[in-house]
Amino acid sequence: MDLWQPHRVYFEPAAKDTTVGKRVQQYCKENNIPILETTSHNQVRGIPGEDEKAKYAAAKKTLIVGMKRSLKFDVCRPSADYQFSLMTNCPGTCEYCYLFTTQGKKPYVRVYANLDEIYDTIDKYIEKKLPHATVFEAASTGDPLGVEHITGSLRDTIIHFGELPKGKLRVVTKYSNVDSLLDIPHNNNTRFRFSINSNYVIKNFEHNVSNLWDRLRAAGKMAKAGYPLGFIIAPIILHENWKQEYKELIDELHHQIGFEEKSFVTFELIQHRFTMNAKNIIEERYPNSKLEMDPEKRLKKWGKYGKVKYVYPKDEAQEAKEYISNLIQEKFPHGHIQYFT
Ligand code: SF4
């Protein structure tokens, strides 16, 4: 898969003189990408497109380099203590994407250039929890590897965490361009996770991300580079033939990284869920989507802030949990299933 390339890049003025800002300007120069200015991502004007669909597509090809203003980190359970953002939104266009309900009609890919301030904040959060370690998730608001070839921010962040005895970083990705991360001093402080899924889910619902084979090959490279490794199987969808396809997935994963099976590989299992708001947006954006979102077939569950989400009925979810957990335990006896949700 070709790496994502924006069609236009907007800079907030303060971002231009930062290390990330300079890297992005260099990238634009080398690739003939127009550079524009904006005071804030809310003020971006002039995105082309005759209708909403075209405007959405053009926004997905727009990069904004700005400063992260709010430096208060949200809690991030169950995967970490806190989450912070190197970027917001994502070059990918997965039909089930969890970002739909937060990105509105203008899903510009936004990257943050004030890394020093973000790192200072991380260090302060760690200090507050000493002598215990603090775990941070860096991929809750987008997939940072999707823009790494433009910003280099993830590499810098992994190096920063490499110097923090009590700071642990967790990243998750559907991309495979890991080469720039292989030779850096991560000091085992970054757990690098790959989001993987059955062939049916990847083929029908994941677009503009790396294919499964590339992700698995990238996982093999990261394992060889000594990174603690993890896999997120999400969203688990109980499609026709799901048992066979998830079995093939775990078999293939074992085939690719089995040589590392004595190391401590983590697994996170997340069943498909949706809110009515997300369902409406997805149906508007992907009118022919095969994504099953019939509330009648699901169980209502109250989430954070009183929001209702729809998950699989208890017996179906339990069956998926047991079946996939057994597959993992069989092939990865040293692996650790962290949760099924
Ligand atoms: S890769 Fe992740 S963040 Fe990006 S579109 Fe797909 S689901 Fe959303």
The domain of 209 spans 8-340
**Residue for token pair 């006896």:** 333
Peptide bond into 228 cis (omega under 30): no
pTM of structure? 0.95
Within-domain flag for 3: no
Within-domain flag for 48: yes
- pLDDT of 46 strictly over 80: no
C-alpha distances in Å from residue 285, one per residue of 212, 307, 309: 24, 22, 20
Confidence tier at 304 by pLDDT (50, 70, 90): confident
Within-domain flag for 1: no
Q: Which of 51, 78, 52, 64 is nearest to 11 (CA)?
A: 64
Q: Cα separation of 12 and 21, whole Å? A: 10
Ligand 1 pocket residue status of 81, Cβ below 6 Å: no
pLDDT tens-digit series, residues 141-172? 999 999 999 999 999 999 999 999 999 999 99
**Count of CB atoms within 10 A of residue 253's CB?**
25
Ligand 1 pocket residue status of 91, Cβ below 6 Å: no
Ligand 1 pocket residue status of 139, Cβ below 6 Å: no
What is the H or E stretch that residue 316 is in? helix 314-331
Within-domain flag for 325: yes
Within-domain flag for 2: no
Atom 3, ligand 1: which residue's CA is nearest?
142
Output the CA torsion 74→299→250→149 (10° steps). -40
Strand partners, 269: 233, 340
Q: Cα separation of 95 and 291, whole Å? A: 8
Cα 174 to ligand 1 centroid, rounded to whole Å: 7
User: DSSP letter at 2?
Assistant: P
pLDDT tens-digit series, residues 92-147? 999 999 888 777 667 899 999 999 999 999 999 999 999 999 999 999 999 999 99
Ligand 1 pocket residue status of 142, Cβ below 6 Å: yes
**Residue for token pair 């009648």:** 296
Burial class of residue 209 in the structure, from the number of CB atoms within 10 Å of its CB (0-12 exposed, 13-18 middle, 19+ buried): buried
Atom 7, ligand 1: which residue's CA is nearest?
97
Given the CA of residue 174, which atom of ligand 1 is nearest to it? 1
Ligand 1 pocket residue status of 97, Cβ below 6 Å: yes
Query: How many domains does the chain divide into?
Result: 1
Give me the CATH number covering residue 107.
3.80.30.30
Structure tokens at 244: 């066979």
Within-domain flag for 34: yes
